[in-house]
Structure 1
Amino acid sequence: MITFLLGIGILYTFRLGFIQVTMLKQAFVQTFGGMFKKNPDNKDGISPFQALATSVAAQVGTGNLAGVATAIALGGPGAIFWMWVSSFFGMATIFAEAVLAQKYKEEKDGQIVGGPAYYIRKGVGSKWLAGFFAVSIIIALGFIGNMVQSNSIAASFDTFNIPRVAVGIVVAILIGFIIFGGIQRIAKIAEFVVPFMALFYIGGSLVIVFANFSGIVDAFILIVESAFNPAAATGGVIGATIKEAIRYGVSRGLFSNEAGMGSTPHAHAAANVKHPAQQGLVAIIAVVIDTVIICTLTALVIIMTKSYETGLNGIQLTQESFTRGLGEFGHPFIAICLFFFAFTTILGWYYFGENNINYLFGKKGISVYRALVLLFIVLGSTLNVTLVWDLADTFNALMVLPNVIALFILSPVVVKIYKEYKTKW
């Protein structure tokens, strides 16, 4: 799966002429130039920035905290270098996904819908493959994935000695209030919460980075050296090999920004833009925010506080690094961030699943889907998460395969749209 995701990113990088470099400035302008403008037609979709916020809501989650820590624990600091590599190529992939989502979107029951199921059916011409993708993402993200997120939220509140089931019920009530308002309400909440939660986390991380600023150059040197010679760079503290550094860095990077997985195109399809490539450029910025900024800051905090030498893994490693950097406030700081990161991911993943329920069953299936999602949120808060993670990984793989096949087949369409955009806009 890692090979497929990285391979499709390399393909699009070359076919689009390194778009993540040549069009990066225009991507920022397209994303933030009109962030305070209202959507010209509230009945038909959402604004480009709201689509970005909804996308980032899904992308920025527990992977940015626990996933980065796991990559470092198992692959060494050098895994972060390979995470950067995967995000670089992922920018080209996610541009293609957003472009295709825009091109093949449609209006259904008064709502703009789109995503891989639609461009697989209409672009590739395979109803079976489109249906296979739809079922996979509903299970992977809508049900099992959201169980993982609610479990993470409940676990983060162990610090405050609050029963996990109580946390699950409260989260389900809050999510229910939002999702029954449809994509417009989800987008408005994401538009408000995502910038706040990102800035809060970035601010806390920068406090630690600047407090240890004398070691920032050494941290970057360690990351680069460890990418090619982990044992020598870490003095044998971490028994990682180059293969492990690449494996965990690339996989955690791709699964954090979700480039090529087929999830974020649902948000970008709903954006109201004049040309598909415009939303493709916005999608690139989502990867910049998720991996280049937030994941990198997590990595710097772990490395600069020397927490990676403790032998801890996952969220425990992240908590240890922020406790070392912020003192007693470090633990509740991570608990708060984990709550917002996981909560907004539930919103994004719910919406992606709803799109595919709509594709398979129409509007009549959405009420049942909402009820099941809320039930899974409560259940997820009480369960042992190991099995749930394994199931989520399995269904993630099942949804990636049809999406990557479609991206490969439809690459000429993406290239044609991009060339048209460069000529006329």
Structure 2
Amino acid sequence: MLNELNNIVTFLNNYIWGIGMLVLVVGSGLYFTIRLHGFQFVHFKDMWSRIIDKQDSDSGISAFGSFCTTMAMRVGTGNVAGVAVAIYMGGPGALFWMILAGMTNSAVCFAECTLSVLYKTRIDGQYRGGGAYCAERGLGWKKYGAFMALILMIGTSVFMPAAATYTICDGFHNAIDIPMWVSALIIALILAVVVIGGVKRISAIASMIVPFMVTVYLIAAVVIIVMNITAVPALIKTVVTSAFAKNAVFGGTIGVIIQQGVKRGTFSSAAGMGEASPTAAAAETSHPVKQGMANAAGVWLDTVIICTASGLMILLTDCFNTAGGYVGSGSAELPALAAAGTNGVVFVQLACKTVMGKIAPTFIAIMLALFSFTCLISYYYEAETAAMYLFQGESKAKARKIVTWIMRIGMPVLIFIWGNLESDIAWNLSDLALGSCTWVNMLIVLLLSPKVIALYKDYEEQMKAKKDPYYNPNKLSWSGVDKEMWKDINKKYIENDK
């Protein structure tokens, strides 16, 4: 039965992740980069400064808390196992396209998060927003908004956790031989405790874990890179040349190389799929562009920095195989892995083992557990926000509570099931959810792009005037925007400008 399910999911993914997705993701990234005058380069410093704002309120979390919660979702399996899978399928050249996708995808993330903040509203005293809210409030597409919310709720609570859960269980199984089902059970129980506390607890835990795990992982990567520093120039040449032509050594056609780089870059950053939008909307901020900037910086940290670090560790130590027949020489275990077709996190574990020795597999397993677990708690928040949209209104208050508790119990149960899957089906299920969400979300983002451009122009004008940018609904007055909420948020700014 699982084989049949995997065949169906693979068939669907071949269409969802075909040439159309490549055009959509890369094209949208280039479109927003051009229309926003390369903001991710022009405002590079400003982009990072928006992360550190720790002002929150009863209705919203701080920009820093929102950033950490979003990074909890971004920095996960895609940064470690995803990079390894991309290199296995597409060779070293896939890393080039992954980095490029990260740079352009940051503009897409900026657009979707800016829109999410613009069209957010208060439900049960908490800020809620996302693609579904943008569809209804920005375009008047209420039915499409409900469809988007349903896709996001199912995708983030049912299918997308499959890869993250499998990766945690597989990491500990490889490192210290813990049975997969035991790890899955522990993850499920801890997740249940966290999500019962709601968005405030999720944000607090993410704010504690994310900075620590990112710092430790990058330090380990820097050590390995420095110890192999003499090989870096030759490797850069290999990555670039392999990105534009089929390599006789590593195999893989140019189409597969680009597809793998873009797919894993998109999976890692989640830019365009609407996954970061609800968390961005939860932030307390005076201008939508501020939070859009913070989230764009997150894509750089996730894909351009952390994914590159993982890729360099694997490639510099030659601890990888490819589907095209290449077998690395960095570890005596690689020939056996090639024969079995095994790939993924084990490549990173072997790379670290060249420097750390026997503790490397356990170290990576712990890092993966932190990366992937924070992914899971973020997935839950995205699903809960989608459910809040589907059951909004006073008449559905009771239904909201029931659905919320169903997810708080049901998602940990599914986590236990996903932890016992095979690698292929786990990743295929996650790819299916990601691809589906991306298609339905990007239509809304592109149709509302004039609003993004207008907000960015307003932000730049205020910056040039040496003002702290804020959104004034009396100046940029659009239907669907919760004007009273924004007047309340920026009451002091508006009064000072009178």
**Correspondence for 1:316:** 346
CA distance in 2, matches of 1:74, 1:173: 34
Displacement of 1:270 in angstroms is 0.5
Deviations 1:245-279 (CA, angstroms, capped at 9, x unpaired)? 21111111111111101101111110101100000
Deviations 1:372-420 (CA, angstroms, capped at 9, x unpaired)? 1111111222233433432332232222122111011000000001101
Given that 1:98 and 1:283 are in contact with CA atoms closer than 8 Å, whether structure 2 keeps it comes out as yes
**Correspondence for 1:226:** 242
Is the deviation greater in 282-291 or in 241-250? 241-250
* Aligned with 1:264 (options 267, 270, 276): 276
> Residue 107 of structure 1: SS of its match in structure 2?
strand
**Correspondence for 1:62:** 77
Does 1:243 find its partner at 2:263?
no
Displacement of 1:153 in angstroms is 1.4
**Correspondence for 1:140:** 155
* Aligned with 2:302 (options 290, 305, 327): 290
Given that 2:283 and 2:291 are in contact with CA atoms closer than 8 Å, whether structure 1 keeps it comes out as yes
**Correspondence for 1:336:** 366
**Correspondence for 2:48:** 28
**Correspondence for 1:121:** 136
Is the deviation greater in 414-423 or in 1-10? 1-10
* Aligned with 2:228 (options 212, 217, 234): 212
Given that 2:267 and 2:431 are in contact with CA atoms closer than 8 Å, whether structure 1 keeps it comes out as no
Given that 1:116 and 1:403 are in contact with CA atoms closer than 8 Å, whether structure 2 keeps it comes out as yes
Displacement of 1:201 in angstroms is 0.8
User: Structure 1 stretches (4+) deviating beyond 6 angstroms?
Assistant: none
Amino acid aligned to 2:318? K
Is the deviation greater in 383-392 or in 250-259? 383-392
Displacement of 1:294 in angstroms is 0.5
**Correspondence for 2:478:** none
Amino acid aligned to 1:336? I
CA distance in 2, matches of 1:390, 1:200: 29
Amino acid aligned to 1:183? V
* Aligned with 2:417 (options 379, 387, 393): 379
Amino acid aligned to 1:418? Y
**Correspondence for 2:91:** 76
Displacement of 1:151 in angstroms is 2.2
CA distance in 1, matches of 2:426, 2:350: 25
Given that 1:59 and 1:256 are in contact with CA atoms closer than 8 Å, whether structure 2 keeps it comes out as yes
Displacement of 1:230 in angstroms is 4.3
* Aligned with 2:39 (options 19, 23, 27): 19
Amino acid aligned to 1:354? E
CA distance in 2, matches of 1:113, 1:270: 6
Given that 1:130 and 1:402 are in contact with CA atoms closer than 8 Å, whether structure 2 keeps it comes out as no
Amino acid aligned to 1:206? V
Displacement of 1:38 in angstroms is 4.2
> Residue 307 of structure 1: SS of its match in structure 2?
coil
* Aligned with 2:105 (options 76, 85, 90): 90
**Correspondence for 1:347:** 377
Q: Which runs of 5+ in 1 are unaligned?
A: none
Displacement of 1:291 in angstroms is 0.7
**Correspondence for 1:166:** 182
**TM-score, length basis structure 2:** 0.81
Deviations 1:115-170 (CA, angstroms, capped at 9, x unpaired)? 11110111122122211111111222211222332222122221323232222222
Amino acid aligned to 2:239? I
Provide the aligned C-alpha RMSD in A. Answer: 1.5
CA distance in 1, matches of 2:182, 2:145: 38
**Correspondence for 1:44:** 59
> Residue 250 of structure 2: SS of its match in structure 1?
coil
> Residue 127 of structure 2: SS of its match in structure 1?
strand
**Correspondence for 2:210:** 194
Displacement of 1:5 in angstroms is 1.6
Displacement of 1:61 in angstroms is 0.9
**Correspondence for 2:356:** 326
Does 1:255 find its partner at 2:267?
yes
Q: Which runs of 5+ in 2 are unaligned?
A: 1-20, 321-326, 329-337, 393-399, 464-498
CA distance in 2, matches of 1:113, 1:279: 14
Displacement of 1:89 in angstroms is 0.9
**Correspondence for 1:369:** 407
Percentage of matched positions with identical amino acids: 34
Displacement of 1:179 in angstroms is 1.1
Deviations 1:349-378 (CA, angstroms, capped at 9, x unpaired)? 110011001111243221111111111111
Given that 1:261 and 1:399 are in contact with CA atoms closer than 8 Å, whether structure 2 keeps it comes out as yes
CA distance in 1, matches of 2:347, 2:211: 25
CA distance in 2, matches of 1:208, 1:87: 23
Given that 2:85 and 2:344 are in contact with CA atoms closer than 8 Å, whether structure 1 keeps it comes out as yes
More contact order relative to length (CA 8 Å, sep ≥ 6) = 1
Given that 2:166 and 2:426 are in contact with CA atoms closer than 8 Å, whether structure 1 keeps it comes out as no
CA distance in 1, matches of 2:349, 2:188: 26
**Correspondence for 2:292:** 280
Displacement of 1:204 in angstroms is 1.1
Given that 1:8 and 1:93 are in contact with CA atoms closer than 8 Å, whether structure 2 keeps it comes out as yes
Given that 2:76 and 2:368 are in contact with CA atoms closer than 8 Å, whether structure 1 keeps it comes out as yes
Displacement of 1:67 in angstroms is 1.1
CA distance in 2, matches of 1:392, 1:30: 31
CA distance in 1, matches of 2:89, 2:422: 22
> Residue 279 of structure 1: SS of its match in structure 2?
helix
CA distance in 1, matches of 2:240, 2:250: 15
CA distance in 2, matches of 1:382, 1:80: 29
- 1:324–1:237 Cα change, 3 Å: farther
Does 1:302 find its partner at 2:332?
no
CA distance in 2, matches of 1:84, 1:383: 30
Given that 1:28 and 1:285 are in contact with CA atoms closer than 8 Å, whether structure 2 keeps it comes out as yes
CA distance in 2, matches of 1:391, 1:169: 20
CA distance in 2, matches of 1:404, 1:155: 33
Given that 1:165 and 1:378 are in contact with CA atoms closer than 8 Å, whether structure 2 keeps it comes out as yes
